[in-house]
Amino acid sequence: MSTLFIDTSYNQTIGLLGNEGTWTARKTLDGQKSSSILHAELHALLLSVNKKPADITDVLYVAGPGFYTGLRIAHGLADMLRIEGRTLRNFYNFEIPRLLGVIDYTWITKAYRGEIFIYQNGEAFLLSEKDFLARSWDGVVYIHHTSALDAVMNEKIPHALATEALMFERINEISQVLQQTPQVRDLYYFRPPEEEFKPSV
C-alpha cells in the first residue's frame, strides 16, 4: 500500500507514504513552471522506489489556498486516480496547525496583486500589503514558506513557523487525523476564478 501525496499550492511537491505513514520518497520542484513535468517526475519517483502506479492505493493532496491553475494540477491528477478506484483525502495548508492540535493561531501567505491571505481563528480574508505591514502580528504565527512572502514581510513576522516544513516533518500525524474524518474539500482559491482571470484595466 502506498499513498501518493501532491501539493501544488505553491511549490510542486510529490511524495509517497508507506503503510506506517512515513515518507518512502519525496521531491519538491520549485516554481510554477515545474507543473509541466509533474507527471514525468511522478513516474521517476515511482521507479526510484521500485513502485508502479498500481501500487498507489489512495491520494492525499493539498486543496489550497492558492491560485486556480496551480490547484487544478493536483486536483486533476487526484481525480484521475479516483476514477481508477483510489481513495482521496485532502486538506488546506492553513489547517495544518489545527490538525496538529494548535487552536489559537494566525496563518499568512502572499496572494499577490498587492494582497496577503490571512487565516485567523477560523476566519479567512485578504488584506492589502500596506495594511498587513501596518498591523502587529503577535501570538502564534505560521506562514506557508519563507519564499511565499517577500523579505520585508518576513521581517515583520520573524517568529513565524513554516507549515510546509511542519507538514513534511509530521505528515504521519496529519494523515492519521484526516483518516478519522475522511472528506474531500473543495479547492480553496485566493479569489473566485472570475476575479482571478479578470483582465487588468
- Structural domains in the chain? 2-92+171-196 (3.30.420.40), 95-163 (no CATH)
pLDDT per residue of the chain (201 residues) written in tens, 0 to 9? 799 999 999 888 999 999 888 999 999 987 656 567 888 899 999 999 999 999 999 999 999 999 888 899 899 999 999 999 999 999 999 999 999 999 999 999 999 899 999 999 899 999 999 999 999 998 999 999 888 899 999 999 999 999 999 999 999 999 999 988 778 999 999 988 777 777 665
Contacting residues for 73 by C-beta, under 8 A, at least 6 apart = 8, 12, 35, 38
pTM of the model: 0.92
- Three-state helix/strand/coil letters over 29-98: ECCHHHHHHHHHHHHHHHHHCCCCHHHEEEEEEECCCECHHHHHHHHHHHHHHHHCCCEEEEECHHHHHH
Q: Which residues contact 196 (CB under 8 A, 6 or more apart)?
A: 67, 68, 189, 190
